[in-house]
Amino acid sequence: MPHLVLVVLGIVLGTSTCRGSPPMPSTPNASMIASNDDARAAVGKVVRIRGTVQREKLGDTINVGDLSVRCEDFRFPDNVVSHTATAEGTLAIVRDEPATVSAGGEISQGTEGGGSSFVLRHCVVR
């Protein structure tokens, strides 16, 4: 419960971090990304993204147009979903594990067809 209070308070005040860490100052060299081309050029760098928060199967995402970036180590409070937020972190591309079907027809957790997606590591929400 104290962690939830910290996250909600952080969002109200405009700054929040994952796992109850102390608020971090904005990173002056963070590049703003707003497209897939921006993201591909910024892999491995500290970036900032501002967009609409969505709750997804693999984790919460921030979306701008057709760009979707998952905050790998942060879950947004329910009241922030469908609203605009800004996040910073180190951008990476991860391979999404494909769902598999067993001989008995059971489907494992995973994504249809696998693929890859953009993630922010050490995600800090502003």
pLDDT in tens, 54-103: 998 788 999 999 999 999 888 999 999 999 999 999 999 998 666 677 88
**What span, in angstroms and rounded, lies between the C-alpha atoms of 84 and 9?**
16
8 A C-beta contact, residue 70 and residue 96 = no
Instruction: Retrieve residue 84's tokens.
Output: 């605009």
Per-residue pLDDT at 50 exceeds 50: yes
Residue carrying structure tokens 């995600």: 123
8 A C-beta contact, residue 43 and residue 114 = no
Kindly report the pTM of this predicted structure: 0.68
Per 3-state DSSP, the chain is made up of helix, strand and coil in percentages (nearest 5) of 20, 40, 45
